[in-house]
Amino acid sequence: MKTKLSVNINKVALIRNGRGGNLPDLIRFAQDCEDFGADGITVHPRPDERHVRYDDLPRLKDVVKTELNVEGYPSKRFMKEVLAVKPDQCTLVPDPPGVLTSDSGWDIKKEGVFLKEIIATLRDHGIRSSLFVDPDVDQVKAAAEVNADRIELYTGDFAKTYFTDREAAVRDHVASSIEAQRLGMKVNAGHDLNLDNLAFYSSSLSGLSEVSIGHALISDALYYGISNVIGMYKALL
């Protein structure tokens, strides 16, 4: 199975918002990413809407032909917007308001009752669920218990230790991926994956369904251009 590349376009929206206009055009950029080979588009609207805004979601839904993945903490407003748009996938992350970036997974054992209800609501509306988790087999088991369709493994710590000992860095990810698939869930991954570490990571996890990459990919596009960069990342997969 070939791992899909979902391009997170939050940083494009951040540049747009810096001038208050529509340059760059986020919707056109999403379409171009698909034309250049992206297998999906990811966005993460935060409460302060400092990059992707909630009013971007229906416009993206109208044009994205591959898969639209909306990430976020399942607040009342977030859930209202997601259920109205009905993206292909909703990735639930445990971010409190004001956090800079998603840097840890859910404590599913603690939040299980809450998450199970959210996941059931998403499923009732035909939306695939994915839970952002640390590479921990116990958390993976808990994700299955709340009926998540997928998990997304947080790869930030892997990226930090990749150059020190990449085999050790990926070990828990491999175990978590195996356990998730044994329990009937598919496996996504994301956070700080880049041109240096992506090939090793994706080749280490058999059955990796999708990676979501934004910050590194958009940064690389400043040097190589977005059409080239999407091809470079897909080649590593």
With 0-12 CB in 10 A as exposed, 13-18 as middle and 19+ as buried, what is 113?
exposed
Tell me the percentage of the chain whose pLDDT exceeds 70: 97
In this structure, is the dihedral angle defined by the CA atoms of residues 227, 229, 231 and 233, taken in order, positive or negative? Answer: negative
What is the pLDDT confidence band of residue 100, given thresholds at 50, 70 and 90? very low
Average pLDDT, the chain: 96
> Considering only CA atoms, which of 138, 76, 73, 79 is closest in space to residue 108?
138
DSSP H helical ranges for the chain? 10-19, 26-35, 56-63, 76-85, 108-124, 137-145, 156-161, 166-182, 198-204, 215-224, 226-236
Predicted TM-score (pTM) of the model is 0.95
CATH superfamily of 4-236: Aldolase class I (3.20.20.70)
What amino acid positions are annotated as catalytic residues? 44, 71, 191
State the average pLDDT over residues 141-153: 98
Residue 70 has pLDDT above 50, yes or no: yes
State the average pLDDT over residues 138-161: 98
- Sequence spans of domains, the chain: 4-236
